Structures are given as C-alpha cells and as structure tokens.
Amino acid sequence: MTDNASKPENSEQRVTELETRITYLEDTVDTQNREIAQMASDLRVMKEALQMMYKKVSEFGDYGGGGGSAADEPPPPHY
C-alpha cells in the first residue's frame, strides 16, 4: 500500500496546516466575540437614549405641546 498520508512528512504537513487553520479560526472567533460585546454595549446605550427621548416626548405632550387630541381644541378662527 503506497498511501501518501502514511508518510511522516505528509502527516506533519497536514498537522501543521490544521494547526494554522485552528489558530486562524480561534482569532476569528475572538474578534467576533469582541465585536458582539461592543455591539451589546452600544445597544444598551441606545436603549437608554431612546427611553430618555420617549420620556421627553411624553413630557412635551403633557404640557400642551401638541400631544392632545384635535377634539379637545377649539376650531380655528376662520370657521
């Protein structure tokens, strides 16, 4: 049987290639984990900002800034 995979140099070469691929994949996973963590942090900040904006908009509506219904307001003077 003359199988190339049974030769020591081919086996070593394959192991080296696989180790290189694993190292690359580990780096890729680490990079993605950092990006996901940053996105989660950014999302948290954006949610807080959105909640503050909702609060401001609701306060604006509570003080007669256009938040009431049209039926509550008198008709315009041209009627």
Q: Give kind and range of the element (H or E) at residue 29.
A: helix 8-62
Total structural domains within the chain:
1
Query: Is 77 part of a structural domain of the chain?
Result: no
Cβ burial, residue 71 (10 Å; 0-12/13-18/19+): exposed
At which residue do the structure tokens 């256009």 appear?
A: 66
Query: Quick one: pLDDT at residue 68?
Result: 55
Give domain status of residue 69, yes or no.
no
Q: Does residue 49 sit within a domain?
A: yes
Low-confidence stretches of the chain (pLDDT < 70) are 1-6, 63-71, 79
pTM for the whole thing? 0.58
Considering the domain boundaries, does residue 2 fall inside one?
Answer: no
Domain encompassing residue 44? 7-59
Determine, yes or no, domain membership for 23: yes
19 is a domain residue: yes
Residue 75 tokens read as 């008709």
Summarised one tens digit per residue, pLDDT across range 53-70 is: 999 998 887 765 555 566
Query: What's the token pair of residue 72?
Result: 């509550």
The answer to whether position 64 is within a domain reads no
